[in-house]
Amino acid sequence: MVTLKGEHIYLRALEPEDLEFVYSIENDESIWELSSTQTPYSKYLIKQYLENAHADIYEVKQLRLVICSYDHETLGMIDVFDFDAKNKRAGVGILVKEDENRNKGYGREALKLVTNYCFTHLNLHQLYCNISEENNNSIKLFSNQGFKSIGLKKDWNLNNGAYKNEYLFQLIKNVH
């Protein structure tokens, strides 16, 4: 895989050593709403997932990368999912895990690196993301990277007994 290096962070493939980090994210109920998770994941299942994380994006339709600082602190993850080679599109999602690492530009840099990778190396035509109407930080992040809100899905997700709206954002590759 191409090394994805930015000014303050780099992106790398998942490693077996990421077991505890991935386990903590996948089992953090406070962020289940972001990924539509409904049940906890066992360490056994996550270990199996990590053992197969090297699989080709064309086969598994997903690429999950770890966001790291240059002092090798694991900050979060960024996913390319629903990879559709025929229509040249994919979804993208990002999570910076700890509050103290948010609003420092790490997410912006990771999104920029992944967007460039998807358009240049995967030859995608467009990327999209789904963002809760209440998630102002993500709306700002994706908007500032050129993603456009193209619709609001009413009552899209049921969380804690209440329906919430979700925006669909899209970025189409500039072909000029």
CATH number, residue 67: 3.40.630.30
Which residue did the predictor score with more confidence, 115 or 36?
A: 115
Buried b (16+ CB within 10 A) or exposed e, 91-115: bbbbbbbeeebbeeebbbbbbbbbb
Instruction: Supply the range of the domain harboring residue 66.
Output: 4-172
pLDDT-derived band at 109, boundaries 50, 70, 90: very high
Question: Which helix H or strand E contains 110, and what residues bound it?
Answer: helix 106-120
Q: How many C-beta atoms lie closer than 10 Å to residue 82's C-beta?
A: 12
pLDDT-derived band at 1, boundaries 50, 70, 90: very low
Give percent of the chain with pLDDT exceeding 70. 89
State the total domains in the chain. 1
pTM comes to 0.87
Q: How many C-beta atoms lie closer than 10 Å to residue 55's C-beta?
A: 12
pLDDT-derived band at 3, boundaries 50, 70, 90: low
